[in-house]
């Protein structure tokens, strides 16, 4: 299989064991992002917490993850990919077990921060592991990674709804069990760092920030941060706008997650083939802005439909942004990934922290959606500056065949 002939079925065939183990763990890790969505109201009621406190479950998780992204490259370079992945998974297992036992919102927020640290060590390293080990090249690896992201995002809310219907502690216990399985598989079957045959180049803590000196990577990273802020407004604030029960919220975000997965794997390559990575990203972020504008209308059925359809835009953006970040600069993949993810998750952390306050400042429960739409327009304007530059079409040629098999 060469250059531009990457077919989707080939992407999922003949992959090394390390790729499948890492992808499985990635599914569980991404489940953690949307896991608490259906149980936000239950947590608020059970622990006597307001919306501003409950949304801290996202901001503490993401805030620590943002800072930790700066050390993932240095940690991985010094200790190796397997040790980094296993350490991250172990931290997540410990944090989720203790989350299930937490007695206050303060404890829960603190434990989510530990969870964020584990996720940072795992996520950035997992992408590098999959890119380095997957057969079919970088495009095949990114499709596998985005498939894991989409499956995790779709099943997380559903698991949270089913287990959360019994108790808000259930989703945390369930995640601990699943992540424990991933930890055992990673520790037992990923190749040892001393035997993986790769020569580790020292990486300094500030190297990810230095990588952002590249104008293309910086533009991509800041654009992703603006979009990710809007993404987490939808994720963290929608349950308070809809005021549905755990099962209903879980089903809404299950549909949303399916759209993320399908668009990221099937549609994104074809959009990039037609418009280029940058052009496709601009169109997708404008679509996201339009859907956010619809969410400002005081109609719950319309908001539900817009949330589910926003998964299409998110799937496109996740794949297109990741593809651009991993190929736009000459920085080593782990360093570029860490710098990009630092900006990306910073946007999510800020949004999750301020979303409840934004509603109060503007006196409208729909105001966060309107602000998010403006952020997406800013992202589109910023990314449009790159349209004049040469687009190598790294995704399109490889992916043009992808959709033809379905």
| Integer angstrom CA distances of residue 242 from 111, 259, 365, 369, 375 | 27, 20, 10, 13, 22
Per-residue pLDDT in tens (0 to 9) along the chain, 406 residues: 333 444 555 556 667 777 888 888 888 877 877 777 788 888 888 898 888 788 888 888 888 888 887 787 678 777 888 888 899 999 999 999 999 999 999 999 999 999 989 988 887 677 777 766 666 666 677 777 777 877 887 788 888 888 888 888 998 998 898 889 889 988 887 777 665 445 556 667 778 788 888 888 899 999 999 999 999 899 889 988 998 888 898 899 889 988 988 898 889 889 988 988 889 999 999 999 999 999 999 999 999 999 999 999 999 998 888 877 877 777 777 677 778 888 988 898 899 888 888 998 999 999 999 999 999 999 999 999 866 654 444 443 333 333 332 2
Residue 28: CB partners within 8 Å, gap ≥ 6?
152, 175, 178, 179, 182
Residue 197 burial (C-beta neighbours within 10 Å; 0-12, 13-18, 19+): exposed
CA distance linking residue 116 with residue 326, whole number of Å: 22
Sign of CA dihedral 94, 97, 99, 103: negative
What distance lies between CA 376 and its chain's CA centroid?
17
Show the CA angle centred on residue 193, arms to residues 191 and 196, nearest 5°: 60
Q: Where are the domains of the chain?
A: 16-192+203-388
Taking the C-alpha atoms of residue 81 and residue 75, their distance in angstroms, rounded to an integer, is 9
- Return the number of other C-beta atoms located less than 10 Å from residue 218's C-beta: 18
Structure tokens at 132: 């380095």
Alpha carbon 14 to its chain's center: 26
CATH, domain 16-192+203-388, list 1.10.260.40, 1.20.1250.20, 3.30.1340.10, 3.40.1410.10:
1.20.1250.20
Confidence at residue 265, expressed as pLDDT on a 0 to 100 scale: 82
Q: With 0.85 as the threshold, say if the pTM is over it.
A: no
């Amino acid at each position: 299989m060469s250059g531009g002939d990457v077919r989707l079925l080939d992407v999922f065939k003949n992959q090394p064991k390390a790729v499948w183990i890492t992808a499985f763990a990635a599914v569980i890790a991404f489940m953690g992002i949307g896991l608490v969505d259906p149980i936000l109201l239950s947590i608020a009621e059970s622990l006597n917490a307001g919306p501003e406190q409950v949304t801290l479950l996202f901001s503490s998780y993401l805030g620590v993850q943002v800072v930790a992204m700066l050390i993932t490259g240095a940690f991985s370079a010094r200790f190796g990919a397997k040790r980094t992945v296993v350490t991250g998974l172990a931290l997540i297992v410990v944090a989720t077990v203790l989350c299930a036992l937490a007695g206050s919102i303060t404890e829960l927020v603190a434990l989510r921060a530990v969870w964020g640290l584990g996720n940072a060590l795992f996520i950035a390293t997992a992408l590098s592991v999959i890119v380095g080990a997957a057969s079919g090249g970088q495009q095949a690896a990114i499709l596998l990674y985005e498939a894991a992201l989409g499956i995790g995002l779709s099943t997380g809310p559903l698991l949270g709804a089913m287990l959360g219907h019994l108790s808000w502690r259930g989703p945390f216990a369930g995640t601990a069990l699943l992540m424990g399985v991933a930890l055992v598989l990673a520790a037992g079957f990923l190749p040892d760092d001393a035997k993986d045959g790769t020569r580790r180049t020292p990486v300094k803590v500030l190297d990810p920030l230095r990588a952002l000196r590249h104008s293309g990577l910086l533009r991509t990273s800041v654009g992703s941060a603006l979009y990710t802020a809007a993404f987490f407004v939808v994720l963290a604030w929608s349950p308070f706008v809809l005021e549905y029960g755990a099962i209903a919220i879980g089903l809404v975000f299950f549909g949303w997650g399916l759209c993320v997965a399908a668009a990221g794997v099937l549609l994104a390559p074809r959009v990039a083939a037609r418009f280029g990575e940058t052009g496709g990203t601009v169109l997708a972020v404008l679509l996201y802005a339009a859907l956010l504008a619809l969410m400002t209308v005081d109609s719950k059925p319309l908001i539900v439909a817009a949330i589910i359809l926003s998964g299409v835009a998110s799937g496109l953006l996740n794949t297109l942004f990741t593809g651009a970040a991993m190929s736009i600069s000459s920085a080593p993949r782990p360093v570029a990934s860490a710098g990009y993810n630092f900006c990306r998750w910073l946007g999510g952390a800020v949004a999750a922290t301020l979303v409840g306050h934004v509603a109060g400042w503007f006196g409208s429960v729909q105001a966060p959606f309107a602000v998010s739409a403006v952020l997406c327009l800013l992202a589109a304007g910023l990314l449009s500056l790159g349209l004049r530059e040469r687009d190598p079409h790294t995704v399109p040629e490889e992916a043009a065949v992808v959709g033809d098999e379905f």
